[in-house]
Amino acid sequence: MRIFSKVLGIVFISFAVLVFLFTLKDPDLLDNSIVILSTVLSVVFFVITKLITRIEYLQYELEDLESRFWDVYNAIYDTSEKSSRFSPRGFL
Protein backbone atom coordinates (compact mmCIF):
# COMPACT_ATOMS: atom_id res chain seq x y z
CA MET A 1 0.00 0.00 0.00
CA ARG A 2 2.90 2.35 0.69
CA ILE A 3 4.25 2.05 -2.83
CA PHE A 4 0.77 2.56 -4.25
CA SER A 5 0.24 5.75 -2.25
CA LYS A 6 3.66 7.09 -3.26
CA VAL A 7 2.98 6.43 -6.94
CA LEU A 8 -0.46 7.98 -6.61
CA GLY A 9 1.06 11.03 -4.92
CA ILE A 10 3.62 11.44 -7.70
CA VAL A 11 0.87 11.20 -10.32
CA PHE A 12 -1.23 13.86 -8.59
CA ILE A 13 1.70 16.23 -8.12
CA SER A 14 2.80 15.83 -11.72
CA PHE A 15 -0.76 16.53 -12.84
CA ALA A 16 -0.86 19.70 -10.75
CA VAL A 17 2.50 20.81 -12.16
CA LEU A 18 1.30 20.19 -15.73
CA VAL A 19 -1.85 22.22 -15.13
CA PHE A 20 0.27 25.00 -13.62
CA LEU A 21 2.61 24.99 -16.63
CA PHE A 22 -0.33 25.11 -19.05
CA THR A 23 -1.81 28.06 -17.15
CA LEU A 24 1.52 29.87 -17.43
CA LYS A 25 1.41 29.30 -21.16
CA ASP A 26 -2.21 30.43 -21.49
CA PRO A 27 -3.48 32.53 -18.54
CA ASP A 28 -7.04 32.35 -19.86
CA LEU A 29 -7.17 28.75 -18.62
CA LEU A 30 -7.46 30.09 -15.07
CA ASP A 31 -10.94 31.27 -15.95
CA ASN A 32 -11.91 27.68 -16.62
CA SER A 33 -13.39 26.28 -13.41
CA ILE A 34 -12.62 22.71 -14.47
CA VAL A 35 -8.88 23.44 -14.41
CA ILE A 36 -9.09 25.02 -10.98
CA LEU A 37 -11.23 22.18 -9.67
CA SER A 38 -8.90 19.50 -11.03
CA THR A 39 -5.87 21.23 -9.53
CA VAL A 40 -7.54 21.50 -6.13
CA LEU A 41 -8.67 17.88 -6.30
CA SER A 42 -5.19 16.69 -7.22
CA VAL A 43 -3.71 18.51 -4.22
CA VAL A 44 -6.45 17.15 -1.94
CA PHE A 45 -5.85 13.59 -3.14
CA PHE A 46 -2.12 14.05 -2.64
CA VAL A 47 -2.70 15.14 0.96
CA ILE A 48 -5.01 12.17 1.49
CA THR A 49 -2.37 9.75 0.19
CA LYS A 50 0.20 11.34 2.51
CA LEU A 51 -2.19 10.89 5.42
CA ILE A 52 -2.76 7.25 4.49
CA THR A 53 1.00 6.69 4.40
CA ARG A 54 1.38 8.35 7.80
CA ILE A 55 -1.45 6.28 9.29
CA GLU A 56 0.14 3.09 7.98
CA TYR A 57 3.47 4.10 9.54
CA LEU A 58 1.80 4.88 12.88
CA GLN A 59 -0.04 1.56 12.77
CA TYR A 60 3.26 -0.24 12.22
CA GLU A 61 4.85 1.65 15.12
CA LEU A 62 1.88 0.84 17.37
CA GLU A 63 2.14 -2.86 16.58
CA ASP A 64 5.87 -2.74 17.33
CA LEU A 65 5.22 -0.94 20.62
CA GLU A 66 2.57 -3.48 21.56
CA SER A 67 4.96 -6.32 20.81
CA ARG A 68 7.65 -4.71 22.98
CA PHE A 69 5.14 -4.19 25.80
CA TRP A 70 4.15 -7.84 25.84
CA ASP A 71 7.80 -8.91 25.70
CA VAL A 72 8.58 -6.80 28.77
CA TYR A 73 5.40 -7.90 30.53
CA ASN A 74 6.17 -11.57 29.95
CA ALA A 75 9.76 -11.10 31.07
CA ILE A 76 8.63 -9.44 34.31
CA TYR A 77 5.94 -12.05 34.92
CA ASP A 78 8.37 -14.92 34.31
CA THR A 79 10.95 -13.35 36.61
CA SER A 80 8.45 -12.77 39.42
CA GLU A 81 7.10 -16.31 39.09
CA LYS A 82 10.60 -17.81 39.28
CA SER A 83 11.57 -15.69 42.27
CA SER A 84 8.35 -16.58 44.12
CA ARG A 85 9.17 -20.27 43.85
CA PHE A 86 12.42 -19.76 45.73
CA SER A 87 11.02 -17.32 48.27
CA PRO A 88 10.21 -18.85 51.65
CA ARG A 89 6.83 -17.09 51.88
CA GLY A 90 5.92 -17.48 48.22
CA PHE A 91 6.32 -13.83 47.29
CA LEU A 92 8.90 -11.08 47.54
pLDDT per residue as tens digits for the range 28-87? 766 677 777 777 777 787 788 788 888 888 998 999 999 999 888 888 877 666 655 555
Tell which residue, 21, 1, 3, has the closest CA to residue 13: 21
Q: Contacts from 50-57 at CB under 8 Å and sequence distance 24+?
A: 50/5, 50/9, 52/1, 52/5, 53/2, 53/5, 53/6, 53/9, 56/1, 56/2, 56/5
What pLDDT score was predicted for residue 29? Answer: 65
Gap between the Cα atoms of 46 and 52, Å rounded: 10
Per-residue pLDDT at 80: 63
